[in-house]
């Protein structure tokens, strides 16, 4: 059961990282950076959440391997 949750966290984290990067590099974010000086926070938060989920998934896999 932990392996399934770890795999789901890892896959979901990688997807969030990908889509967050795409959002951060989008045309709308570029326009916001040009006029407002700051890009879209949505892309940044998606990448932060994706990194946290991916790290959680990897930790779950490592914990299963170490504990047996």
Handedness of CA 24, 26, 29, 31 (dihedral sign): positive
Which class for 40: exposed (0-12), middle (13-18), buried (19 or more C-beta within 10 A)? buried
Contacts of 63 (CB under 8 A, 6+ apart): 2
Task: Give the start-to-end residue ranges of the domains of the chain.
Answer: 2-67
Full pLDDT tens readout for the chain, 68 residues? 888 999 999 999 999 999 999 988 888 777 777 777 766 688 889 999 999 999 999 999 898 778 76
Residue 14 CA to residue 8 CA, distance in Å, equals 10
Residue ranges in 1-68 assigned as alpha helix (H): 2-24, 27-36, 41-67
């Amino acid at each position: 059961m932990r392996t399934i949750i770890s795999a789901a966290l890892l896959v979901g984290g990688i997807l969030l990282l990908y889509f967050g990067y795409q959002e951060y590099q989008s045309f709308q974010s570029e326009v916001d950076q040009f006029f407002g000086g700051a890009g879209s926070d949505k892309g940044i938060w998606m990448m932060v959440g994706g990194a946290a989920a991916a790290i959680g998934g990897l930790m779950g896999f490592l914990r299963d391997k170490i504990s047996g």
